[in-house]
Amino acid sequence: MNHSVSKKDVLQVCTGDITRLAVDAIVNAANISLLGGGGVDGAIHRAAGPKLLALTRTMGGCPTGEARITPGFDLPARWIIHTVGPVWQGGSQGEAQLLHKAYASSLELALQHGIHSIAFPAISTGAYGYPFAEAAKIAVQTGKEYAPELEAIIYCCYREQDATLYRQLIRDICE
């Protein structure tokens, strides 16, 4: 790997549909069952096709803060890394540590499988209620820890205002 690439260049932001990204892996903000759900989880399950559900039914779920990997099936991405973020309970129940662990577990799996480019949604910020700005800061801080070992860590945002926040955090944290 070219070590002259800055962490800021590895950490990238896009807006749009994560299921359309042609990267080595996309991350699914999964629930503990791994059987699909609403939001990005449901969208990834629909886009990957029925083989994903057939496989995740055999996997026994995933505890909060951990990650599991499956093929991408019908997605452009080769792999799906499923991670379970914490449900927001006010911030005093270890949510920040669990969210960091969810990102770090995903990135560790990526390294173990030779993945060079990975795209994340905003884990735990939808139905799980994690405050967006706090979650984004944890996402970028964790990405910075792993940036030297990957070619691209992409934060895929649904809205442009969210992407703007990620870009500002990358500037603030990586410079």
Quick check: is 154 in a domain?
Answer: yes
Q: Is the pLDDT of residue 11 over 90?
A: yes
Query: For this structure, is 41 an active site residue?
Result: yes
Average pLDDT over residues 132-136: 98
For residue 27, name the pLDDT band (cuts at 50, 70, 90): very high
Report the alpha-carbon distance of residue 104 to residue 101 in Å, rounded. 5
Domain containing 76 — which CATH number? Answer: 3.40.220.10
Quick check: is 162 in a domain?
Answer: yes
What does the mean pLDDT of the chain come to?
95
The per-residue pLDDT for range 60-80, each reduced to its tens digit, is 999 999 999 999 999 999 999
pLDDT at position 4: 46
Question: Which residue, among 108, 98, 92, has the nearest Cα to 149 in the 3D structure?
Answer: 108
Catalytic member of 17, 41, 74, 172 = 41
Domain range for 114 is: 7-174
pTM: 0.95
Query: What stretches of 11-151 adopt beta strand conformation (E)?
Result: 11-15, 25-29, 67-71, 79-83, 117-120
What total number of domains does the chain contain?
Answer: 1
pLDDT at position 52: 98
